[in-house]
Structure 1
Amino acid sequence: MNDPIVFVPGLLCTEALYAPQIAAFADRPILVANTREDDSIAAIAARLLEEAPNRFSLIGLSMGGYVAMEILRTAPGRVSRVALLNTSAHADSEDQKKRRSVSIKLARQRSFAKVPDLFYAGFVHEKNDDNEHLKSIVTEMALETGPEAFVHQQTAIANRIDSRPSLSAIPCPALVLSGDGDRLIPPALSVEIHHLIPGSELAIVNDCGHLSTLEEPGTVTAKLRNFLNRP
């Protein structure tokens, strides 16, 4: 059960989002998807499929989950198992699109440095509001992503489709995971995905927010290890 693993980062995130898991699964081939070059979820997924092994385990958090669901629509035979972390199957609402438009304007007006602070509170559990170490990681990931890629990502997210109608067709084992204190994508949306994917496993991590892989790395890595190693 040592398939390669493809990790798909979320908005404003780099491979650092999965640093604890990449270290834990160092015995497997690992690819971190490029989510910076394209401005549609379909194009990000297509790029990933060009670069990925023929068959792989797929792990996506938030925007990474949107990409994972697109891959499962277009190339389900390539995925041996999928973990959907802190993500939603819904399309953006009009209010969400308006908020993304505001953040895009900030980035284009050379105010990108303000963006990490604007997003931080939504990214983490309330217990981590003053966690300077975690805040520094989030800021470093955002600055490495940069304003141009951020605009691409926000455009892709705003225009994504509703994935709920296709979830019942997912043919591989699926883990759906959320943090009980996710303020950006509430755990109820993960519960919804779990109910729509036949035979999926649900995990809600206590005292955890949106960036579960960094906030509770031990618990999340253990959940992933049990899921990926299960016969």
Structure 2
Amino acid sequence: MPFLLIPGLNCTARVFAGLTDVLWPFGAVTVANHRGGDSIGAIAADILSAAPSRFALGGFSMGGYIAFEIMRQAPHRVDRLLLLDTSARPDTPEAAENRRRRIALAESGKFELVVEQSFPMAVHPDNQERADVRALHREMALANGAEAYIRQQRAIFARPDARPGLATIAVPTMVIVGEGDLITPPAAAEEMHRAIPGSRLAVIAGAGHMAIAEDPRSVYAAVRQWAELPRT
């Protein structure tokens, strides 16, 4: 079974670099290009146009929002689902205002400031001095670029509430969240876990929103369990 992984906002394929090695024994791994389209629906359709006929689907953060849309557009093509530090909820008013503010900064030529300001929220408080995680965060964001960032933020802002469709997900599903995730908190992960029939939940201690970079060993162990789940 091929695996299709979708990165998050300000991320490139590098966010899944180690995870590719973990999944490779189970099947070929592709990282989707999530830069096409100006809405979550359009991005999902663009990814589906290049995807295998059937695949195991994983999404990190924004990638999870896109994964939910793929489940709406083509549920028959998804063999299993991985939701990594993401949420089915729409933005709170506070989060929506924060997106508007950062879009305005990026449009005014201050994208590097946006990247710098966003890092503290992206990791567990204990990891804010982690130079390796900070460097990965910055390098991926700059590679993705301001134009893609603005377009993706607007797509996220307008995304639909995915919670009504959670109960219809009928494939093996793993939900992973950093216990200190400040962007898509454990409560959102637990909500998805409770609503998706038969799903599993892994909470990564000492990690935040970038759990995949903060504690890759624990994340990879949970993902391996997901890949080994029997098909329904």
TM-score, L = length of structure 1: 0.96
2:24 is paired with a residue whose SS is coil
CA distance in 2, matches of 1:116, 1:128: 16
Q: Partners in 1 of 2:92 and 2:132 — Cα distance?
A: 33
Q: What is the rounded CA distance, in whole Å, between the counterparts of 2:140 and 2:38 in structure 1?
A: 19
Contact 2:172 2:229 in 1 (8 A): no
| One-letter amino acid of the counterpart of residue 26, structure 1 | W
CA distance in structure 2 between the aligned counterparts of 1:111 and 1:227, rounded to whole angstroms: 40
Partner amino acid, structure 1, of 2:8: G
Contact 1:179–1:210 (8 Å) recurs in 2 = yes
Deviation at 1:181, TM superposition (A): 0.8
Q: Distance in 1 between matches of 2:50 and 2:28?
A: 13
Preserved CA contact (<8 Å) 2:36 2:46: no
Q: State the Cα distance separating 1:194 from its structure 2 match.
A: 0.5
Q: For 1:71-112, what per-residue CA distance to the aligned partner results, in whole angstroms no more than 9, with x for missing partners?
A: 111111100000111111111223222211111111111111
> Retained in 2: the 8 A contact 1:168–1:197?
yes
CA distance in 1 between partners of 2:70 and 2:34 (Å):
14
Structure-2 separation of matches of 1:52 and 1:80 = 13
2:2, 2:28 within 8 Å by CA — same for their partners in 1?
A: yes
- 8 Å contact kept, 1:5–1:30: yes
SS at match of 2:119: helix
Please report how far the alpha carbon of residue 126 of structure 1 lies from its aligned counterpart in structure 2 after TM superposition.
Answer: 1.1
Q: Say whether residues 1:219 and 2:218 are aligned partners.
A: yes
**d(CA) in 2 for partners of 1:92 and 1:132?**
30
Q: Which residue of 1 aligns with 2:75?
A: 76
- Distance in 2 (CA, whole Å) between partners of 1:123 and 1:47 is 27
Quick one: distance in 1 between partners of 2:120 and 2:199? 30
Using the TM superposition, give the Cα deviation of residue 171 of structure 1 relative to its aligned residue in structure 2, in angstroms. 1.5
Please say if residues 39 and 159 of structure 2, whose CA atoms lie closer than 8 Å, have aligned partners that are also in contact.
Answer: yes
How many residues in Structure 1 have an aligned counterpart in Structure 2? 229
1:62 deviates by 0.9
Deviations 1:167-201 (A, max 9, x none): 10012111111011111111010000001101111
The equivalent of 1:161 in structure 2 is 160
Query: Which residue in 2 is equivalent to 1:148?
Result: 147
Q: Give the letter aligned to residue 112 of structure 1.
A: F
- Per the alignment, residue 12 of structure 1 pairs with 10
Q: What RMSD, in angstroms, separates the aligned Cα atoms of the two structures?
A: 1.0
Give aligned-pair identity as a percent.
Answer: 41
| Letter aligned with residue 94 of structure 2 | D
- Please tell me the residue identity of whatever aligns with 1:79: V
Looking at structure 1, the residues matched to 123 and 17 of structure 2 have their Cα atoms a distance apart, in angstroms, of 17
Q: Spell out the pairing of 1:99-178 with structure 2 (5 A cutoff).
A: 99-178=98-177
Amino acid paired to 2:170:
P
Matched with 2:197 is 198
CA distance in structure 1 between the aligned counterparts of 2:18 and 2:8, rounded to whole angstroms: 16
Distance of 2:166 and 2:39 partners within structure 1? 20
Measured in 1, the distance between the counterparts of 2:126 and 2:41 equals 35
Q: Secondary structure at the match of 1:25?
A: helix
Runs of 4+ in 1 over 2 A off after TM superposition: 23-28
Aligned pairs (5 A) from 1:56-95: 56-95=55-94
Is 1:24 aligned to 2:14, yes or no?
A: no
**Which amino acid letter does the alignment assign opposite residue 35 of structure 2?**
R
Q: Which residue of 1 aligns with 2:32?
A: 33
